[in-house]
Each structure stands twice: as structure tokens, then as C-alpha cells.
Amino acid sequence: MTKPALIIHGGFFTEHQTDPLMKAQKQQALLRIVREGWEYLQTHTAFETVVFCSILLEDDPLFNAGTGSQIQSDGVTRMSAAVCDGTTGRFSGVINIENVKNPILIASRLQQEEDRVLGGEGALKYAREHGFDYYNPQTDHRIREYEEKRRSLINTGTIGCVALDFGGALAAATSTGGKGFELVGRVSDSATVAGNYANSWCGVSCTGVGEDIINGAMAAKIVTRVTDGMTLGEALRKTFDEIKPFDGFAGVIAIDSYGNIGHQDSHPSMVYAWKNRLGESVFD
């Protein structure tokens, strides 16, 4: 019998170690979103659910995706997002798109196209042609950060979601506002198979330092290893062992086709919440 499951993440942060209010706010937000996502999953597919949860996370300025995304070195916010349908094997995404509200919706719309990953001006042109209006995702908080040129790992992260639906289908989605103050043109892991991937055996969304995640080809490796017979736990451990030599900074959420939920990070702490028929949990 299929064991439906849902897990979301809100990237990395360390401020909760000294800011109990911020910790509580993020816990409450993640629990609210995972509960809304679980209710949605009851009558929708895994693919539809990961997009739905990603929209909720992008719309919450507590997280670095959509509204509240980081600002790059030239003062512009550019976002990336991807979604992977484990049933069809289709991966689609946008890279460095500007002035849209929900990058994950454009990534999802690209599932219908032959050319399914677009970047920069091309991604924005496609968005406008398909009814996605102008939206400024910068918040006062992010503007203050930019003006102060803050570039600490406190701000490292993305948002992501993995779901297994009642029909046994898996999907994964990831969206990011970048690491902040990065070089113009930098490509993160989020809209690549290193940071977001799913097939009929496993779905994975990553967060952390994009370059480290790409170096480790993490999402694709974990999914491939589960497909080839490793347990989800074994696949996570082996993949994280491989980024230790370069002190890779990464976090992962995952679900396999049996409904097993996995999460692991190399540098505490990734923020996440999960829910299935047996219960729910949020990072502590």
C-alpha cells in the first residue's frame, strides 16, 4: 500500500541560535505550510502538491525564495526554480529570472515545452508572454541587508518540497533567491539536477551552497543510488560522505517510493517539516 508523504525545507539559517522569536516564526510557518500541503495532497498529485507548497514558501518573506529573495551584487534580485515530475521524468526550470512573483509557476509551466530550462531574459520573456505580470520581490529587510553588504551563511538557503502521492507518484520542487551579493550571472544548483531531481523511486530537493551541491551532483546521485538498490538512508550517507573532503555545505530532503522520509545536513541547521499518515515533525 502506498504511504503518501510530504516534506518541505526552508533552507539554512543559524540566527535561531540567538533569536528564539525567529526560530518560532519559522517553525510555525513550516508547520502551517506542511499541514496545508498535506490537505492539498489528499486530492492532488505529487507534482501539483510540490508546486502548491513551493508557492506558499515563495510567498512567505521569512524564506529566501520569491518574495524576500536575496539581492545580487548589482542591486537586482534574480531567482531560480525547478520542478521534476518523477512519473514522466520531465525536469523544467528557470534560472536568474527577475520581477516575477512565483518562479516555481513558470518552471511548472515549462513542463509543457520542448525547451524546458530557460534563463535570464529568455525566461522573463516567456513569463510575460504567458501572463505572469511584473512583481518586485525585494523586501525592506533584504534591501537593508544589501546596503550593509551582508554575506554570511545565515542567509544561505532555498525552499523545497518533495511529495509522494496516493497513487505512488513522486515529485520534487526547489526555488531560491540566491546566496546574496553574488556575481551577476551566477547559476545556483536549484534549477539543475544536482539540486532538484525525482524519478519513480525517489525525490530530492537540496539547499546550501550551490557550488558544493553541484560539485557533489547530490540530488541526481541520491536518486540514482536509491534506484540502484540502496536504501534512502544509505544513499544519503554515502552522498554526504563524498562532500566531506571539500567541507561541502549542503542539506537534503527526500522521500522514496515506499514513503520513507529522509533529511540530512552537513552544517547545522537546515529548517524543514514533514507530515505523513503517522504524524508530523518540524526542526528543533
Residues tagged active-site? 158
How far is CA 108 from each of CA 4, 31, 241, rounded to the nearest angstrom? 22, 24, 32
* Planar angle of CA 192, 196, 201, nearest 5 degrees: 130
Q: What is the dihedral of CA 175, 159, 209, 195, to 10 degrees?
A: -60
Peptide bond into 257 cis (omega under 30): no
CB-based contact 189:210 (threshold 8 Å): yes
What are the phi and psi torsion angles at 117 (to 5°)? -130, 115
Q: Could you tell me which residues are beta bridge partners of residue 12?
A: 270
Q: Are strands 202-208 and 117-119 parallel, antiparallel or unpaired?
A: unpaired
Cα(142)–Cα(96) distance, integer angstroms: 17
How far is CA 28 from each of CA 16, 108, 194, 283, rounded to the nearest angstrom? 13, 27, 29, 10
